[in-house]
Amino acid sequence: MSDEESYAVDAKGPIDGPLKDGEKPFAAKDLEPFGNEETAEVKYRTMKWWHCGMLMIAENVSVGILSLPSAVATLGMAPAAIMILFISALSWYTGYEIGQFKLRHPEIHSMGDAGELLMGRIGREVLGIGQLLLLIFLMASNILTFNILMNVLTDHGTCTLVFGVVGLVICFLGALPRTMEKVYWMSCISFLSVFVAVMVTMVTAGVESKSHVANLATTDVSFRDGFLAVTNIIFAYLAHIAYFGFMSEMEDPRTFNKSLAMLQIIDTVLYLVSALIIYHYVGPDVESPAILSLSPLMGKIAWGLAIPTVILSGVVLGHVACKYIYVRLFRGSDKMHSRSFLSIGSWVAICIGVWVVSWVVAESIPVFNDLLSLISALFGSWFSFGLPAIFWFYMNRGQYFRNYKKVILTIVNVLVFAIAVSMCGLGLYVSGVAIHSDSSSSSWSCANNV
């Protein structure tokens, strides 16, 4: 048995490193959600760490990055930069905790599985439904962005609802492959697309700028506007929801920390540089997404370059959502590994259902910043920050005050949990008020949403 196929295991589950006295080796492939795939017709556990890292980047870094300059305009350059770095560090730490929890419990494929381990059947249903809802809301954000994109490119050439249906169909077709390895190639195209679009937006903002902004701090911002800006930054770090699923399709889940580092370094650098530079040149009136602040011609060019990432980042999210349902239905069955009519037909039907629901959500909350804020508050606060802290307490139960290091980590995770509770409560309040009071767009409308 090779190192990539086995771990050491003790009473608490798998641990990294050589076997010790009393420990027994076990085959990770026998505990993973997809089981032993040596003779399987369709194999899932095929990703290298850089495949996983690129998928995480594509899932996390999309056109939503261009909502950050408006957050900087609200908070000021220095406070926004500090907040981005703080949320990044917090996100990195909680991502590491999710990775350790997965290594301890290789059978986990989703937040629902983790919920069952923590709270039994009720926990499975609550967290499983919550994960699915979060993914659907994120997919809805992509459809909403596609609507804006097409309205810009065509000068509102037709009813916005039609653009939503077009985006729905394209994303559904892209989500049809059943394995993450095939989606990986789409993620590379997605990242290249958003990178080029962001570079064009920054350069254009500099060229078209009439004056430079040097507002390091904003002191007259209301609590509601300030916290809405913070939730938009939080939204930029909501990749955690898919970590269990990504690790389940890695050849060696122990290399996940490399994937996590790849994600955190790349996205934080991009977020900081793009948000500060675009705000510096556009000023306090920068729109969200920032492409809308460019001249009509350059705005269209930037949106055109962003088409692949708008579609393909949604494809990655949709794949994770569909895979959760698919594994839930066929786990432990050979049907998941076959190319039979039932297996393929079930996958297609799940994809159709999930994408239709996400389209309904997108058309129901058509205000870009408000939708991002609602997602961040209701779901992201728990799946990205609150639950990882709970995972740490579960893995270290009975050892919270064993030594100085444990005491420090206990305090840190209590603070992380408190931050998650605050994010959820305050975020729900401000986003709810914003959605209720914003009359610039109406639900299920043919009107231009730019």
DSSP state of 400: T
- Distance of alpha carbon 325 from the chain centroid: 18
Q: In the block, which residue shows the tokens 């301890």? A: 104
| C-beta separation of 7 from 26 below 8 A | yes
Query: What is the pLDDT, as a whole number, of residue 147?
Result: 87
Burial (Cβ within 10 Å: 0-12, 13-18, ≥19) of residue 231 = buried
Mean pLDDT of the chain: 84
pLDDT at 444 over 70: yes
Query: What is the pLDDT, as a whole number, of residue 215?
Result: 62
| C-beta separation of 100 from 108 below 8 A | no
Mean pLDDT, to the nearest integer, of 364-393? 80
Contacts of 367 (CB under 8 A, 6+ apart): 434, 435, 438, 440, 441
Per the domain annotation, does 447 fall within a domain?
no
Query: What is the pLDDT, as a whole number, of residue 32?
Result: 74
Q: In the block, which residue shows the tokens 């975020």? A: 427
Per the domain annotation, does 19 fall within a domain?
no
| Per-residue pLDDT tens digits for 164-207 | 899 999 999 988 888 887 888 888 899 999 999 999 999 999 89
d(CA 289, CA 210): 20
- With helix as H, strand as E and coil as C, how does 72-129 read? HHHHCHHHHHHHHHHHHHHHHHHHHHHHHHHHHCCCCCCHHHHHHHHHHHHHHHHHHH
Structure tokens at 194: 């958003």
| Per-residue pLDDT tens digits for 273-330 | 999 999 988 888 888 788 888 898 998 999 899 999 988 888 988 999 999 999 999 8
d(CA 448, CA 157): 9
d(CA 334, CA 35): 10
Q: Reduce the DSSP state of residue 26 to 3 states and report it.
A: strand
pTM attached to this predicted model = 0.86
**How is 236-255 classified by DSSP, letter by letter?**
TT-GGGGHHHHHHTBS-GGG
Per the domain annotation, does 4 fall within a domain?
no
15: left (phi over 0), alpha (psi -120 to 50) or beta: beta
Cβ density class 29-45: b for 16+ within 10 Å, e for less: bebbbbbebeeeeeebb
Query: What is the pLDDT, as a whole number, of residue 438?
Result: 63
Per the domain annotation, does 136 fall within a domain?
yes
Query: What is the pLDDT, as a whole number, of residue 434?
Result: 73
Total domains in the chain come to 1
| Per-residue pLDDT tens digits for 385-443 | 999 999 999 999 989 999 999 999 999 999 999 999 998 888 888 777 777 776 555 67
pLDDT at 238 over 90: no
Q: What is the CATH number of the domain that holds 286?
A: 1.10.4160.10
Per the domain annotation, does 17 fall within a domain?
no
Any bridge partners for residue 10, and if so which?
A: 13
Q: Reduce the DSSP state of residue 30 to 3 states and report it.
A: helix
Per the domain annotation, does 332 fall within a domain?
yes
**What percent of the chain is predicted at pLDDT more than 70?**
87
DSSP state of 12: T
Band of pLDDT at residue 371, cut at 50, 70 and 90: low
Domain that holds residue 69: 47-437
pLDDT at 17 over 60: no
Per the domain annotation, does 54 fall within a domain?
yes
d(CA 406, CA 418): 18
d(CA 335, CA 339): 8
Per the domain annotation, does 13 fall within a domain?
no
| Per-residue pLDDT tens digits for 314-360 | 898 899 999 999 999 988 788 888 888 999 999 999 999 999 999 98
Band of pLDDT at residue 219, cut at 50, 70 and 90: low
pLDDT at 133 over 60: yes
Structure-model confidence comparison of residues 345 and 213, the more confident one:
345
| Per-residue pLDDT tens digits for 25-83 | 344 445 678 877 777 788 888 899 999 999 999 888 887 788 899 899 888 888 999 99
